[in-house]
A and B are shown apart, each in its own frame.
Chain A
Amino acid sequence: EAQVTQNPRYLITVTGKKLTVTCSQNMNHEYMSWYRQDPGLGLRQIYYSMNVEVTDKGDVPEGYKVSRKEKRNFPLILESPSPNQTSLYFCASSFNSGGAVLREFFGPGTRLTVL
């Protein structure tokens, strides 16, 4: 089954404790991205990756890191989480058609709470 998976689905942690949210896709997509969703703010892109070893900042990259060492995986790293990073996080992937991202497939989401 074609899908994007994220782990963990739910996480409660404390301020300053490093964490990683994993994302994996099995559709051979070049493009992957991370979003956070907060009430009233819609989806805001954190980082995106056009292909392996190519990453770039989205709209709200502060406090996050990513890496793209393999095509299928795109982990999101919070080196020192803070309460304002409490949010719902989505990973997504897509084919990259001539430089345009036409249709993103989203993972199920990770609900993160930072105390």
Chain B
Amino acid sequence: GQSLEQPSEVTAVEGAIVQINCTYQTSGFYGLSWYQQHDGGAPTFLSYNALDGLEETGRFSSFLSRSDSYGYLLLQELQMKDSASYFCAVGDDKIIFGKGTRLHILP
């Protein structure tokens, strides 16, 4: 079967850097995706890693290590608007999402 583990909550200070980890167990692996969801909203795509290494998109970066079945989302220069839930996901056709990490940002 497939499963993903991520912390349920993370707290950080505005302007700081935070890392949200995700470990996965899959029978086959195509890539690791990250999504952001604000309260009352729909999930929106942030990044996708198919190969090992770091992918950077503005203030957000995502890292993958296939040998460790591990990835993380790095958020830099945190802003209050980054307060949201973040989900990692794996799958090729059948998609499995982690249970989500709630990011709290303190002023």
A interface: dominant SS? strand
* Contact digits for A44-56, partner B, Cβ 8 Å, 1 yes 0 no: 1100101000001
Task: For chain A, give the interface size range.
Answer: 20 to 34
A105 touching B93 in the complex, CB below 8 Å, given contacts A100-B30, A100-B31: no
Are A42's CB and B93's CB within 8 A?
no
A50 to B94, CA, bound (A): 10
In contact, B92 and A107 (Cβ under 8 angstroms): no
A103 within 8 A of B: yes
Does A59 interact with chain B (Cβ within 8 Å)? yes
Give the chain A neighbours of B100 by CB distance below 8 A.
42-43
Within 8 Å CB of A99, what residues of B? Answer: 30, 92-93
Residues of A within 8 A of B70 (CB): none
- A101, B45: Cβ atoms under 8 Å? no
In the assembled complex, which residues on chain B have CB atoms less than 8 Å from the CB atom of A50?
Answer: 93
A74 at the interface (CB under 8 A from B): no
Contact assessment for A48 and B93 in the assembled complex, using a CB-CB cutoff below 8 Å: yes
* Shortest Cβ gap from A66 to chain B (Å): 14
Using Cβ atoms and an 8 Å threshold, which residues of chain B touch A90? Answer: 42-43
Q: A45 to B42, Cβ gap below 8 A?
A: no
Contact of A43 with B91 in the complex, beta carbons under 8 Å: no
Q: Mark B89-105, 1 if CB is under 8 A from A, else 0.
A: 10111111111100000
- B79 interface hit (Cβ, 8 Å): no
**Residue pair B99, A42 in contact (C-beta under 8 Å):** yes
Where the two chains meet, the residues of A that have a C-beta atom closer than 8 Å to any C-beta of B are 31, 33, 35, 40-45, 48, 50, 56, 58-59, 90, 92, 96, 99-109
Interface residues of B (CB under 8 A from A): 30-31, 33, 35, 42-45, 48, 50, 87, 89, 91-100
